[in-house]
Amino acid sequence: MKRALLPLVLLLGACVQTTGGEVVSFTAKASGDPAVVTGAPLTFTTPSGFDVTLTRARLAVGAVYLNQQNPQNYSLETSCIQEGIYSGEVRGSVLIDALSPTAVDFPVAGNGTTAPTRAAELWLTGGDVFADTDSTVVLDVAGTATGAMGSFPFEGQFTISSNRVIPPRNPALPGSNPLCRQRIVSPIAFDTALTQGAMVTLLVDPRAWFAAVDFSGLTKVSDVPLLYRFTDDQSSSAQPDKALFNALRSAVGPYRFELTP
């Protein structure tokens, strides 16, 4: 009897063989940092000594991609898609209130594989990452910063459109720094492996956006009421404008991913 069953056992053994890995689907959510309290302004002090009361902090995320490996550095300057490095994707946009700890769902489920994930990408776009223009406000902030130089009520809305084109430093390299790269925050450390039915949560800490901002350099747009505004243009040389935009695109600090199996 055992001998008769042996071929069957071998056959069944063959049936459970695999090519390795699995295709999985997962849910994706996003929220502000758990430290914030719903409905209340977020108050914090920046490393440069500004006491900030943040009353509005919204981030528009177009998509999330997960990477099996960190993108190759040399191509970071040129390529927005690096074929073969992706382990997961959530192809849907969500507007995140970074002042709310309540997670909001991405409108679509994520797809991916069980291949190890090393990093994540945030695509700050309203849709087409290659578009020449994109009116989507990816960052919308408001609040008041108080420091030794005084109080600075501020607001800012950033888009990543033709206003963010970076001319190539070397005319022989016209393809360097394409606009699509401005819209991708990468690589955000995320060492994990997706599982079927898991939940991936993007946590946004708005405090990190302002860590290097010198609010005293903001452009005043109104005396009554007093209001300062971040300039939404790459050509602006003002420190606050550059610091906030750089922080928005920083892979270290404002963004954190968590996996709940």
Partner 1 sequence: MLLARAAFAAGDVVPPEVVSRVEASVPTDAPPPTQDHVLLEFTVTAEGKATDVLVVESAGRAWDQASIDALLKWQFKPATHEGIAVDARTRLSFNMPAALMPKPEPVPDAGPLEPLLESDGGAAFVTPVLPAGPSITVGGAPDAGHPVHDFSTTVLGRGQPRSRGASDFNIEVGALQAVPRKSAADFLKLAPGILLTNEGGEGHPDRIFLRGFDAREGQDLELTVDGVPINDSGNLHGNGYSDMNFIIPELVENLRVLEGPLDPRQGNYAVAGSADYQLGLPERGIHVRGSYGSFDTMRLVGLWGPSGESSRTFGGVQLFRTSGFGQNREAQNAKLAAQYEGALSDTTSFRVGAMGYAATYKSAGVLRADDVANGTVGFYDSVDSRQGGDSLRAQVHFDLHGHSGNFAHDQTLFFLFRSSRMLENFTGFLRDVQLAQQNPHEQRGDLFDRNTSTFTAGARGSARWRTRLFERNQDLEIGYFGRFDVVRGVQTRLLAGSNIPYLRDLDLDSKLADIGLFADLNFSPAWWLTVRGGVRGEFLTYDVLDLCAQKEVRRPSATNPPGDESCLSQRDLGQFRDPTERNTTSGGAFMPRASVLVGPFAGITLTGGLGTGIRSIDPQFITENLKTPFASIFAWEGGATWQHHGDAWEANVRAVVFGTRVDKDLVFSAQDGRGLIGGATSRFGALAAARLRTDFLDVSGNVTWVQSKFDDTGLLVPYVPDFVARLDAGAFHDLPWLKPLGAPIRGRAGLGVTYVGRRALPFGQRSDVIFVVDLSAELAWKQFSLGLSATNLFDTQYRQVELNYASDFHTSGSLPSLVPARHFAAGAPRAFLLTIGVHFGGES
Instruction: Using CB under 8 A, list all residues that contact partner 1.
Output: 11, 14, 17-23, 62-63, 65, 74-75, 77-84, 86-89, 91-92, 111-115, 123, 125, 127-131, 170-176, 178-179
Q: Which is nearer to partner 1, 19 or 135 (CB)?
A: 19
Give least dist CB 231 to partner 1, A: 24
Give least dist CB 104 to partner 1, A: 18
Q: Which is nearer to partner 1, 14 or 148 (CB)?
A: 14
Q: Which residues 6+ apart lie within 8 Å of 182 measured at CB?
A: 160, 164, 165, 166, 249
Q: Which is nearer to partner 1, 153 or 178 (CB)?
A: 178
In this structure, what are the phi and psi dihedrals at residue 148, rounded to the nearest 5 degrees? -65, -25
* Beta-ladder partners of 139: 59, 158
Give least dist CB 227 to partner 1, A: 35
Q: Which is nearer to partner 1, 103 or 129 (CB)?
A: 129
Q: Which residues 6+ apart lie within 8 Å of 61 measured at CB?
A: 30, 93, 94, 95, 96, 122, 123, 124, 138, 202
- Tell me the chain's radius of gyration from C-alpha atoms: 22
Give least dist CB 88 to partner 1, A: 6
